[in-house]
Structure 1
Amino acid sequence: MTLFRFLALPAVLVFVLLLLVANEYAQARPGRRFADVAYVPTTEAGFDTERHRLDVYAPRQRAASAYPVVVFIHGGSWTSGNKDFYSFIGRRLAKQGVVAVVINYRLAPAVQVPAMADDCARAVQWTYQHIAEYGGDPQRLFTMGHSAGGGLAALLAADNELFARRGLATNPVRGAILDDPAGLDMYDYLRKMKYDGDEKYLVPFGPDQAVWKAMSPMYHITAATPPFLLFVGGETYPSISSSSELFRQKLRRLGHEPQFSVLAGKKHVPMVLQLYWKDNVIYQALLKFVGPTTQLPTTTTPAAVPATSAK
């Protein structure tokens, strides 16, 4: 079977995600959701009214100091996925004292991965410039992603040029949390074309090997790259487990020892579905990684509300 099948959102995953989202709206909400915020000017040529949007999940109450910030990037083989499926991640993080930003980005075949990476960088740039309005600390901004989103989260942390071309002198990402990441080395993967159907990856990545390499975080990490928190399923796909291990080894050679955990028995899809439960091992490690988190107050003083409407 091909990696393409594994990374696309299968019908069963969509069904489970929709159930989780429905359950979220049936429960009391510990935070505030600011939905469908445009991170690209709506007047800009090429603005995509669906894909150039993000949701902010902020703790409901004020705190003495700003909260850490996590930007979550969904997976889906660079061809599918939607931020609305992952509201449970935003709410779980907000409940634990983290401002979460869950983003959309354009997908193939409409665009290829370089444009997706630019969209994600623009979403991070918007977050860096505006998250203080929602109680977040722009100096403690982290990326997080599952599957293809994990590869993009790693690329944002490693490739400073994505932000330099947008006018940021320094990369605002302070670290990345990778949940069963795909695409860490698409240059190697696409040159080998080991599996039936791998030509489908040429839709999001195109035929140019220079692009494959440029979009692979493996070739951007340096001694100055911020830290990584990396989780891999013990029963995930061989391409993910092997590329994650090689990524870990390169970080070690550069003087970084990433926090690396293999979760026994976990397959690729359950690696993201487990984030529905706030006490799971990924959140436990994440809170230490981005911390210290601010202790949520016990009073009912509401957090400041920016101009965007809250839900």
Structure 2
Amino acid sequence: MTISRWLLVPALLVLPLLLVAANELAVARASRRTADVAYVPATDSAYDATRHRLDVYAPREPATAPRPVVVFIHGGSWASGNKDFYSYVGRRLARLGVVAVVVNYRLAPQVRVPQMADDCARAVLWLQTHIREYGGDAGRIYLMGHSAGGGLAAWLATDDALFARRGQPRNPVRGVILDDAAGLDMYDYLRRMEFPDDRQYLAAFGPEPAGWREASALYHLHAGVPPFLVFVGAKTYPSITRSNEKFRQRLTALGAAPPYHVLPGKKHAAMVLQLYWPGNVIYRELRAFIQADTAARL
């Protein structure tokens, strides 16, 4: 290879990076980020200065009325994950014209899944009081979650007790977007113990089957739950395929069949990484889902 060709290789590598950076800058300019907002008061005995935080991404374009709110709950096997990694989701949701919120919550082994769900419920309740300050509509709060975050989002939407114990008898969740959700039926999954490393999840779900069932949204489904929009990767984990299909069937039996999309070729991680692209099918369907729900309730 000649010297000129050697010089061309770095240029070919740099160009895609520059294009990505330029795209990210253009997307970022469309929204205003308010970072590290505490949704639990520092005086609370459970307060965690890192995990009890959320970021708000509000569109810069003026609006004539408060905008719908989409709360993104990250995954990470209930033991890892951070809102800062998912800033790209917040920016792209804001570009759709919604007020986006990306939340942190406490993780295992510090706490178990019921405490994680309580954290997310407290974040939603905080938003009910404060999201108008960022241009959001407190009456139109939707949840979106990937992997473990999808399981938490589904549990919040189906179990009114998570909010009632915090003084809110009416569930404030208007709808849910599940992106390759995990944990919809951990009762079934942990009873099987099919794989050698499955015991790791006991740190998050505890040793008792009753606790596995309580933390599984499938067993809280009932008539009148908010509408769901469900996406599953065609090449995701078999347990996620199985539990999402069971969830779909149960919703259908309740007369609330969800739009259900199996995305060809997608594995579990790719299901959230694809959200980097603004024209992604999940964003397109999400916008239509919110518009249809808003129209149905007018």
Q: TM-score, normalised by structure 2?
A: 0.89
Cα contact 2:151–2:181 (8 A) shared by 1: yes
Structure 1 residue 223: Cα displacement? 1.0
After TM superposition, the structure 1 = structure 2 runs for residues 194-273 of structure 1, keeping only pairs within 5 Å, are 194-273=194-273
Deviations 1:250-270 (CA, angstroms, capped at 9, x unpaired): 001111110100000001001
Structure 1 residue 228: Cα displacement? 0.3
Aligned counterparts of 2:284 and 2:205: Cα–Cα separation in 1? 34
Which structure 2 residue ranges, 5 or more long, are not aligned? 1-19
Which structure 1 residue ranges, 5 or more long, are not aligned? 1-19, 295-311
- Alignment correspondent of 1:300: none
Deviations 1:127-177 (CA, angstroms, capped at 9, x unpaired): 111111111111111000000000001111101000000001200001100
- Alignment correspondent of 2:160: 160
Deviations 1:85-118 (CA, angstroms, capped at 9, x unpaired): 0000100011110100100000001111110010
Cα contact 1:248–1:258 (8 A) shared by 2: yes
Q: 1:293 to 1:230 in 2, by over 3 A?
A: closer
Cα contact 2:79–2:109 (8 A) shared by 1: yes
What SS does structure 2 have at the residue aligned with 1:85? helix
What SS does structure 2 have at the residue aligned with 1:117? helix
After TM superposition, the structure 1 = structure 2 runs for residues 262-301 of structure 1, keeping only pairs within 5 Å, are 262-291=262-291
Cα contact 2:27–2:91 (8 A) shared by 1: no
Cα contact 2:30–2:61 (8 A) shared by 1: no
- Alignment correspondent of 1:35: 35
What SS does structure 2 have at the residue aligned with 1:42? coil
- Alignment correspondent of 1:73: 73
- Alignment correspondent of 2:17: none
Cα contact 1:40–1:47 (8 A) shared by 2: yes
Aligned counterparts of 2:22 and 2:141: Cα–Cα separation in 1? 29
Structure 1 vs Structure 2 CA RMSD: 1.8
What SS does structure 1 have at the residue aligned with 2:29? coil
Cα contact 2:32–2:60 (8 A) shared by 1: yes
- Alignment correspondent of 2:8: none
Between Structure 1 and Structure 2, the one with more helix by share is: 2
- Alignment correspondent of 1:94: 94
Deviations 1:49-86 (CA, angstroms, capped at 9, x unpaired): 00000000001122011111000000000000000000
Q: TM-score, normalised by structure 1?
A: 0.85
What SS does structure 2 have at the residue aligned with 1:291? helix
- Alignment correspondent of 2:16: none
After TM superposition, the structure 1 = structure 2 runs for residues 34-183 of structure 1, keeping only pairs within 5 Å, are 34-183=34-183
User: Percent of aligned positions with the same letter in both sequences?
Assistant: 65
Aligned counterparts of 1:222 and 1:81: Cα–Cα separation in 2? 30
What SS does structure 1 have at the residue aligned with 2:229? strand
Aligned-partner residue type, residue 114 of structure 2 = P
Question: Does residue 191 in structure 1 map to residue 210 in structure 2?
Answer: no
Cα contact 1:157–1:175 (8 A) shared by 2: yes
Aligned-partner residue type, residue 213 of structure 1 = R
Cα contact 1:67–1:293 (8 A) shared by 2: no
Deviations 1:187-225 (CA, angstroms, capped at 9, x unpaired): 111111111111111111110111111100000011111
Aligned counterparts of 1:27 and 1:286: Cα–Cα separation in 2? 18
Does 1 or 2 have the higher relative contact order (CA < 8 Å, sep 6+)? Answer: 1
Aligned-partner residue type, residue 96 of structure 2 = Q
- Alignment correspondent of 2:4: none
Cα contact 2:177–2:228 (8 A) shared by 1: yes
